Structure formats: C-alpha cells, structure tokens
Structure 1
C-alpha cells in the first residue's frame, strides 16, 4: 500500500562556475558538446552505480564531454545509434581514470518526456522527470552548441527531461554540506550546458527520518544513464556514462552497467491520455483524530496570540489513510498535472526499487545566471472567479486582505533579507502583484540581486529553504514548535492506537488553513499524509480548502510515486497551484549551463 507524506517541495538548478576540462575523444560522428547529469542513488543492488559523495570534491574529473550524432527519424533508430556508439566506446576506452561522457542523438519526431518515462516499465531502476514552468524551454539552453554561443533555434529549447538508470548518484544520511555540494559540481562543466543534477534534500535533516523518505537519505541526487529530452519541435535520446577509479567504479564497470540499462529501455512510446485516475474509496482513517488536531491548532493560535513567543506563523501536519479499490500510476497522475500545468513545474524522483517523489509547483525560489540572482515570493491564495468580473473581484479582495498581506510580507521580506546577506544589492520589483494560475491566484513579488562570490551559491541554497511559506516564521521557532507538536500528536495517536504520518495545516494569526497529503499504496489504498514534516495549502477567502500532495509506494516490484495538486476536496486532486509546507524534502536540479541556477519551491 502507498503511504502518504506531507512535504514541501523545492526545485533547484545550480551551475558550476569553474568549468572542468571538456574533451572529445575519437568518435565516428561527433559534433557538439553537452551533457545532462542526473545524480543517481544506488541504494539497492539491482542498480549499480557510484556514490560521488565518497570522492574527493577537490579532485578534477579527467574528462567531461558530449558527443552528438546525426538526427534520426524515430526513437528506435536513436537506440540503434546509441547502442553502436556504446559498443565502440567499450572497445576504445578513454585514457582517463575518471570522467563523464554523454552520447546524444537528436530525433526529428517530438516525443513527450512523460510518455517516454511511462513506457519504461522496469521499475527497479531509478527514474526522474523534470518539466519547466513554461513551454518556452528549461533555462533556454543551447543544446547543440557546447561553446556557450546561443545559436540554437528556438524550436530546440528544452521543455522537459525524463531519465532512468544511474550514471552517478550522491546520497548520505548526514545533512547536505558544502563538501557534498562541491562533490556534485565536480561532475559539472559550463562547457557542457546539459549536464544537470536532479535530486532532493530533507526539510530538516536534524530530525528522525520518516519511513517514506528513508531511501532518499538526507539528500539524493542522480545523473540518469538514459534520458529523453523533450524539445519544442523535436526530441533527443541520450546516454551518460560516468566512472572514477578512486571510487572503485572503473570504466569497464560503468560501461557494462550502461549496456545493462539500455537492454531494459523501450523504444515504443504510447501517448498518455492524461485523464484523472478513477477509483472508489473503500475506507479512510484520520490520524490524529479531530480532537488532537484541534488541540494542536489551538495550541499554536494561543502561542501566537499571547505574544509569549516570537512565532508568527507555523505549518503543522496530520495524516489520513484512505483505502481505494484500484492502484494509481504515479507517472500517469503526474501527466494529469501537466494538463493544467501552465506556469508550473512538474517533477518526479524515484530511487531504485523505492517510492517516488512527484509534485507540481508554480514557484521559483532561486535562479542564478553567473552572479545574477532572481527569486520569487508567492503567498496568499484565492480561487479564480467564474467570470472576468468575478475574477477581478477576487483579485481585489486578495490585494486588500490584511491577513494575506501579512502572510505575503513575511515571505517576501524573509527572502529579501537572506539575499541581502550574500548580495551587493537587492531590488524588489514588483513589490506586490498578482500571479494568476488556471485555478488559483497568488500574491507575488520578484527579487533580484548580484552575488558577491560564486561560492555564496551554497549559502543561498542552505538559507532560502525552508521559507516561511513551507515552515513558518521565524524559521527556528517554527521548526521547534513543529517538532514539539509532532511528539505531542504522536503520543496522542499512540494512545488512540494509531501512528502519526500526516497531512498538514498552516496557522497564521487567527486563520487556519487545513492541508491534506495523500499517499497511494499498491494494496488498493492510499494515505493522506505520511511523515509529519510537510504539506501544502490553498486559501479561498476565509474558507479552508484542501491541497493534495500524493505519495505512491512501490510494492510487489511495481514502481510508484508521489504527486501533488490543489483541489476543493480529496476527490479533486489535479488542480495546479500547489504549495508545499513543512516539507521533508525539496526537489532540485543542479545544472552547469551558462552558470544558471534554479531553486523551485
């Protein structure tokens, strides 16, 4: 059965400021450079790879390169080209003790990355997916020119990426550190703009890890062995091989592992219908009960109202278990989110033979290009009006609401102060506007600054998340209150004969927003909640509305994942402005492409 988890989500793309050596070895058809890195975790014996965190982050990689082959009409022909190229590589290995090489074949046909990922049924392999917030491309990367010149037609902009298998992974049970960050960037080069890392970091690595997240450790990044890049007018199939003898992962081991993964990849891709999965609810159980839930909410409100604490806002969690008649495919559910996913990011991360983390968010918390930094503050939510007139009325109500202004100001000013700590100057423009999404609208501000040093990028990563939108404010007071409340609720749940693995609610002043997190299980069921460390929320006037975060668990050798969406009830889970609070993990993309960095919450 699937287990639900509350969690906030955070997306990131980081770029390596110091390009590694980029070389091209002999190849029958080699044209341009570019690599994508998905950091993979080999947690189970079924998917062999190396853990990059065990290496020396100061040691340079021998070679980082991309080889581009001629365009072919179909995925099947792309597979043939790659298999042939891999065989040639195997017979003529590069003269380096470490390196990472990407082989890529452009495809004339446009293949959607989500469809390709759904066609890969061998779920013992790790997999990942990332779709940009707009359909104008992810990072506007130049795909076919590795020298940094932007000469690629717009039709070649990257839209989304799906990957399976692992070339290298980064995982540890200890908190994500500067050394870990450098270990990841060791495999990146700005000369290879499609080299990226996808992964997740725990919301609070100091707390005990929930069972739903144990396969991720404190953080987990992966570079996929095989990936499908969806472009605006075409697509591209690519493979990546990485090796490092100092990590006891030789070239021969790496190339053999890549060939084994290629044998499991399907070139037959069927278009997903992207319809909301239909099922029936057999039963549901809430943990904690309404009694203990009310106690936790009242305790937070009293603490805020009395002024005995600096706490202004806090996000808490609770769990509900729902048993359904049928299983729900996480990738199919993620595809449903894309239907209304305009101006939102969709993502999936699944370690080998484990649960998957899927989600949908409109927010970009952090973006870096060279030393330039951009961030966004989103807080305060209303539904969309059924007509233009009603929608304008709702917008004006949101703009004039003191409660929403307070919540929004807390988030915006927190981000501004953290940027000012590492930037020479921060500009906020607009200071307060409306961001409209298909089903909801938010208060919105954009912040820009310039880093004093490229190494300050890690400080941005460490400080911006969790933001007040996903944890509370002040952050440490909110963390402490969350931890204390989790213990109190868990003790109460145990007296009631249950466990506390929950969904959540946000408390700000005298307003309470209830949050639901859903986990689906293979044994015909799902949990709303799972791990007391997160959730999402939406506000519609003074009413409580549900935001659904979905977790699907792999059982009986069948891969599954987690997803998210906003809706007015548990039965409506495909709305698209998801907000994640108190999240156990954020999701990230680490990329070396013109020094771009993105963190999305």
Structure 2
C-alpha cells in the first residue's frame, strides 16, 4: 500500500473524518498478503496549517519537529506507531536493521524520525528520557512539502491483527485541529550559570594549546553549557517558533520523547543527505560573527576568508570527510575552494561534498564512520573523544549528535548544534568552538557567546 492521498483537498476541520473513513474502509483481507508493509499509512491532503501551533496543541507523545535548511519541507509528529530506543551504547547495525524491517519500498513516505547522543551512549540524568538513541515512526504526521499539506496516520499490522484499531481511532479523534495559536509564554531570565566558568575555560584552553603545540593532536572542539533559570516554565514550541525568526535558513528540530524534557535547536550544519545512492555532506568550520553594518560585515567576511587559523581549522574537517567518504563512495566531488555560508547569527566557511555510495553501504555505516566530524569533535577523532569527556564538565547528550530521519530510500541528518535542553523552568544552551594552533581562550569564548545569542534573542522576543 503506497501513501494514499485523497485526490481533492479537504478542509482542515474535515481531516479527522476523512482519515477515519480511509482507515475504516481499508480491506483487512489485504493483511494476509506476505508482501504487505509492516506499517500501514493513511493520508489526506488538507488546506494550509501552522505546523508548530498544531504540534503545540497535541497531547500525544513523543513529539518531533523537523524543517530542512532550504525551506522545502517541514514535518510535525505526535505519538508513535513504533519506537526504537535504548540506554546502553548504540549498536548502529542492529538499530538500522530493525528500521529496515518496517520500512518498505511500497511506503516511500514512511520514515523514522529522531536522533542519537553525540558519543552514542547516555548515562546522564538530564537526558534520561532520550536514551542513547531515540527513533520513532509517528502515529500522526502533519507535513508541509513546498505548498502541499498532508495529514497522515501510521498503523502497524499488529494493531490491525490484535483488535487495537479502536484505540488508534480514539487517539485520532483527540487530534486538535483548532485554528487558534496558543499565546507565547516567554518568562524572564533569573539566573545564569556557565560550565565551565570563564577562569576555568582559560586554564583548559591553555592546556589544550600546549598539547597541540606538542603535536598530540591538531584540533579539539570544546563546548560550553550555559544554564538559564527562568521565572516560569518554558514552552519548547515558543522557542522553536522564535528560533525560526531570529536564525533563518537553518535546520530546525524539536524532540520530546515524553511530557518533560525537550531538545530544540536551529543548526546551520548538515551531516549528510542521502537520496538513493547519492550522498551530500559538507565541511562547515571557521566562524566569524556578522557585522553591525555593511562595512563591518564585509570586514569580518574578509577576515574569515583570509584567516590562516580559520582556513586551517576548516581544511582539517574537509580532509577527514574526504578520507572517510573515499572508502564509501565512487565519483567523489569536492568543491575546489571553500565558500561562505552567511546566516543571521554568524558566517562560516563551507565546502560541499558529493558522492555516489558503493553497495552495500547503508545509513548505519555512513553514520558510524562520518559522525562525529572534526567540526564538532577534533582531529584525530579517536584520540579526541576521551579528552572531550575529561575536559567538559557536563554530558553533551544529544548536543552535536545526528538528528533527522531515515526512510526506505532516503535519509537526512543535521548536526544538532546551536541547541538547548528545556526542563521546566531551566534552559541549558550548548555551543562549541574549534581549538587549533593560533586559538586564544578569549576569542573562542566570545565565539561561543555569539553562537548562543540566537537562543537569548529567541527568549527575549
């Protein structure tokens, strides 16, 4: 059964009824067919809808939101038809094999959404709801692709076979398609704490620069966490909506496994996008803020493009990705020279990379070897990861981890940087900087402060 979309649009207030009719009219005799997909998908095209407002109104968990950097697609998900999660170290091949058992070429629009920890394992109390990885096929999806809006419901074969359909239909009737937008609730900042402190940061960077001088390694990316205690609980949807305003042209994401902690962000960085056997990725490293006027902006742009330190940091990322993909791809194409990605919150050196995957390379293999890149870890990666753990006084959790989706013949992941963890009235914001020869503690502290500004602006709107 392929994605079934009514030929004519239905009004938003008719979406639940139209989808209910589709499900009830489904010929359950088709389930005996051995080739029938494990997940059945029912969908209707509807008139336009505000996806974030829709997601905010729903009581079903988990919740997920995804929007690509090009503005071509947005997806809001509520509830789950199937979940893959765990607390121990992630076994890539097992997890992705489990996904492929339920995905099908007959269901080209069916996807698992979610992500994983930066280091593929999780033992931190603040991230307990997320596990080391969290992927799910949503029960309900609201999708915007260009100017088309789709409302979908996914149901497992087991739910049909075991008489659980009434529960699914009851949950469907609870979906709230009312048109009102809940008022934003943006409390004030009462207290801020930085991990590490400014003084400790200076000591850490001094020691790391000494190690780099001794050629122990060439680059290390160290992150900071700033924890903001607010005057009242934060609503993740409000932060997400404001991030779209203050930081356009990014990947936007929101993952909330259950009522409680929510992970939200606006990342400029793609880890990879796969369409069939074609893969796209990029090196995004080397940063300057934006100027307060055109003249200042042009000056900062020239500084970035001509900075020996920033170009060196960028090339380390390019060479590592080249090395990894050379083993996975044929016809590898790399931009001959870096370009500039200019965003509201900063400007970055960018090199695009594209290739054709060699069979039988799959997403499990790609993620295992590509993440983490030197843009969020350092070089050489194997040596750096243990040092990061010993240096950073907090667990990264899903910060800088892969987050996105996987379908039967396509996948896309962003690097979950410029992100924050919301827990009631606390917002923990994460950002990092690459330390190489020529770095200074003050400059890297200021770079991270600049990266964190998008969250401060989102709170203050």
Pick from 356, 373, 384 the counterpart of residue 290 of structure 2: 384
Contact in 2 for aligned 1:241/1:254 (Cα 8 Å): no
Per the TM alignment, residue 115 of structure 1 is displaced from its structure 2 partner at its CA by 2.1
> For residues 284-343 of structure 1, what are the alpha-carbon distances to aligned partners after superposition, in whole Å with 9 as ceiling and x for unaligned?
344444444433332222211233x1x222233444443221222101110112224543
> For residues 323-382 of structure 1, what are the alpha-carbon distances to aligned partners after superposition, in whole Å with 9 as ceiling and x for unaligned?
221222101110112224543111112213342222211222212222222211111112
Contact in 2 for aligned 1:200/1:220 (Cα 8 Å): yes
Contact in 2 for aligned 1:201/1:220 (Cα 8 Å): yes
Q: Does 1:270 align with 2:180?
A: yes
Q: Does 1:224 align with 2:138?
A: yes
Q: Does 1:87 align with 2:24?
A: yes
Structure 2 segments unaligned to the other structure (5+ residues)? 401-416
Q: Does 1:334 align with 2:273?
A: no
TM value normalised by structure 1: 0.65
Contact in 2 for aligned 1:546/1:566 (Cα 8 Å): yes
Report the Cα distance in structure 1 between the residues aligned to 2:377 and 2:24, rounded to whole angstroms.
50
Equivalent position SS for 2:85: strand
Equivalent position SS for 1:270: coil
Q: Does 1:400 align with 2:312?
A: no
Q: Does 1:199 align with 2:114?
A: yes
Pairs within 5 Å for 1:84-483: 84-89=21-26, 94-95=31-32, 99-107=38-46, 109-120=47-58, 122=59, 125-135=61-71, 137=72, 159-173=73-87, 174-205=89-120, 209-244=123-158, 251-252=161-162, 254-271=164-181, 278-307=186-215, 309=216, 311-483=217-389
Contact in 1 for aligned 2:186/2:459 (Cα 8 Å): no
Per the TM alignment, residue 430 of structure 1 is displaced from its structure 2 partner at its CA by 4.3
Contact in 2 for aligned 1:126/1:350 (Cα 8 Å): yes
1:537–1:332 CA distance, 2 compared to 1 (3 A): farther
Per the TM alignment, residue 570 of structure 1 is displaced from its structure 2 partner at its CA by 6.6
Report the Cα distance in structure 2 between the residues aligned to 1:228 and 1:272, rounded to whole angstroms.
18
TM value normalised by structure 2: 0.84
Per the TM alignment, residue 393 of structure 1 is displaced from its structure 2 partner at its CA by 2.4
Partner of 2:456: 571
Contact in 2 for aligned 1:430/1:446 (Cα 8 Å): no
1:103–1:427 CA distance, 2 compared to 1 (3 A): same
Report the Cα distance in structure 2 between the residues aligned to 1:288 and 1:197, rounded to whole angstroms.
36
Report the Cα distance in structure 2 between the residues aligned to 1:327 and 1:286, rounded to whole angstroms.
20
Partner of 2:6: 69
1:465–1:393 CA distance, 2 compared to 1 (3 A): same
Paired residue total: 435
1:440–1:260 CA distance, 2 compared to 1 (3 A): same
Equivalent position SS for 2:162: helix
Equivalent position SS for 1:179: helix
Contact in 2 for aligned 1:128/1:350 (Cα 8 Å): yes
Report the Cα distance in structure 2 between the residues aligned to 1:455 and 1:528, rounded to whole angstroms.
35
Structure 1 segments unaligned to the other structure (5+ residues)? 1-22, 24-32, 35-66, 138-158, 490-499, 507-514, 530-534, 549-564, 576-601
1:370–1:92 CA distance, 2 compared to 1 (3 A): closer
Report the Cα distance in structure 1 between the residues aligned to 2:390 and 2:205, rounded to whole angstroms.
13
> For residues 163-208 of structure 1, what are the alpha-carbon distances to aligned partners after superposition, in whole Å with 9 as ceiling and x for unaligned?
11111111233413212212112222334321111111222135x5
Equivalent position SS for 2:103: coil
| RMSD across aligned positions (CA) | 3.2
Pairs within 5 Å for 1:444-523: 444-486=350-392, 489=393, 500=394, 518-522=420-424
Contact in 2 for aligned 1:546/1:568 (Cα 8 Å): no
Report the Cα distance in structure 2 between the residues aligned to 1:574 and 1:99, rounded to whole angstroms.
42
Equivalent position SS for 1:479: helix
Contact in 2 for aligned 1:545/1:568 (Cα 8 Å): no
Per the TM alignment, residue 516 of structure 1 is displaced from its structure 2 partner at its CA by 8.9
1:213–1:572 CA distance, 2 compared to 1 (3 A): same
Per the TM alignment, residue 386 of structure 1 is displaced from its structure 2 partner at its CA by 3.7
Which range moves more in the overlay, 473-482 or 190-199?
A: 190-199
Report the Cα distance in structure 1 between the residues aligned to 2:202 and 2:451, rounded to whole angstroms.
23
Report the Cα distance in structure 1 between the residues aligned to 2:63 and 2:51, rounded to whole angstroms.
12
Contact in 1 for aligned 2:285/2:349 (Cα 8 Å): yes
Contact in 2 for aligned 1:378/1:443 (Cα 8 Å): yes
Contact in 2 for aligned 1:75/1:237 (Cα 8 Å): no
